[in-house]
Homo-oligomer: A and B are copies of this chain.
Amino acid sequence: MSRIGIGLLGCGVVGSGLARNLSRHAEDIASRCGAELEIRKIAVRDISKARAIPQNLSALLTENVSEVIESDEVDIVVELLGGEGVALNAIRQAMKAGKHIVTANKLLLARHGEEIFREAEKCGVEIGIEASVAGAVPVIRTLRESIAGGEVKSVFGIINGTANYILSKMTESNTEFAEALREAQELGYAEADPAFDVEGVDTAHKIAILASLAFGSPVDFDKIYVEGITRLKPEDFSFAGQFGKVIKLLAIARLVDGSLDVRVHPAMIPCGEPLARIDGVTNAVLLEVSHAGSLMLVGAGAGGDETSSAVISDLADIARNIISGSVGRVSPTGFSPEKRKTVPMKPIEEIDNRYYLRFHVEDRPGVLSRMTGILGAHMISVESAIQRNAQKSVVPLVIITHSAEEENIRSAVAEIDDLETTREKTLIIRLENGE
């Protein structure tokens, strides 16, 4: 049986999970992909650190990334370094050296995916990226390969377990954001510095990758509108409940009038929608495909074992191509390069939506009338308004709008925020149907 050499760059949670699972399931993997996958070199930052990897692998550790990449024994380089600079250089170097790549680095793919995909094709190497989005869920393969006979119309995703855990917690138990975050950290679901997760950046990285595959177009990461969940309050969840909705951090990518609408923000979706029911750290991606209808993939989005299972899936795929002599069988983007076109991105200001607006205003006569007057002047019509218990002098006032353009909403809200009766910056949550 053929033997294929793996070089690991990085050996943290995912890397050591990979090492353990490759060893534990060696026979099964060989029987599935027709080759033995052997780890032959492992680059780590600190060789002296204790690691939960099979003992025979300890001899393979080095602190020199190039040693792994350039080794004649390594056919596939698995990049698990994370971050931008070192990882990008390593991948470039490896591709030039004719090594196939598997990477879980969503930041890198979101920012440099296009370059990496083109370079992979030029160098005649494979690039496996299943582990970069939604861990064990085979969404990359589905987009790259399964959807061959239809056009993707939209991608909706809950693809950050940390944020979804926090939102589920806040929905269930009237918890403040800070408390839910603390609990997530205690359970190991959130990192010490949770910014990437709770500010929506990690989600944006992932939707950039999905959109790029779904729509056959590069996605300019810097043009993605990104808003996190840190400003949400328990009252927003209770209002949402009153409207029969839940709040989720949604990643959205849609084709609208020939432009790409890609964004990440908290959204209210009806309780009955499939995505509304994705709770805790689970990830879900909902694809709307012409002629195939709705397709939802749900599973574990993180974790060493789960993410390493996606890496192994890519390794097996590449191994099959090596053995059958069909490297490059599927292009990194799923489309032949010459058919890939740059679809312009639509600024969020031009998107129409329905909105939940939560104001904190002084409870005095005429305030609501003045506010709705401003909304009306900006072409925004009100579907419903709810004012909470008038015992206090400052009350939350919530307005649900009919469909309006984001730009008009922003202008109106800015004007309302300037009123002397407004006591807090207004919170905007977009209403989505999850389809």
The chain B residue with its CB closest to the CB of A296 is: B298
In the bound assembly, the distance between CA atoms of A312 and B148 in angstroms comes to 6
Segment touching B, from A181-189, A243-251, A300-308, A386-394: A300-308
Decide yes or no whether A136 CB sits under 8 A from chain B: yes
State whether A34 touches B336 (Cβ < 8 A): yes
| Cβ distance A1 to chain B, nearest Cβ, rounded Å | 9
A424 at the interface (CB under 8 A from B): no
Total identical chains: 2
Interface status of A149 (Cβ within 8 A of chain B): yes
Q: What separation, in Å, do the CA atoms of A310 and B21 have in the docked complex? A: 31
Task: Flag whether A385 is at the interface (Cβ < 8 A).
Answer: no
Residue of B nearest to A276 (CB): B277
Cα separation A274 to B297 with both chains bound (whole Å): 12
Known: A25-B151, A33-B148, A336-B34. A299 touches B292 (CB 8 A): yes
Whole-angstrom distance between the alpha carbons of A179 and B17 in the complex?
A: 53
Please choose the segment from A48-56, A69-77, A82-90, A318-326 that sits at the chain B interface, where 4 or more of its residues have CB less than 8 A away. Answer: A318-326
Q: Using an 8 Å CB-CB cutoff, how does the interface string of A215-252 with B read, 1 for contact, 0 for none?
A: 01000000000000000000000000000000000000
Q: Which residue of B lies closest to A305 (CB)?
A: B291
Q: Please encode chain A, from 317 to 354, with 1 for each CB lying within 8 Å of some chain B CB and 0 for all others.
A: 10011011110111000111001000000000000000
A376: interface (CB < 8 Å): no
Please state if B136 and A312 are interface contacts (CB–CB under 8 Å).
Answer: no
User: What distance in Å separates the Cβ of A32 from its nearest Cβ neighbour in chain B?
Assistant: 5
User: In the complex, which residues of chain B have a beta carbon less than 8 angstroms from the beta carbon of A316?
Assistant: 145, 148-149
- Using Cβ atoms and an 8 Å threshold, which residues of chain B touch A310? 292
Identify which of B141, B294, B295, B308 contacts A146 (C-beta below 8 A).
B141
Residues of B within 8 A of A312 (CB): 148-150
Q: List 10 A-B contacts (CB under 8 A).
A: A25-B150, A137-B295, A147-B313, A148-B317, A289-B309, A292-B309, A297-B298, A298-B298, A321-B329, A324-B326
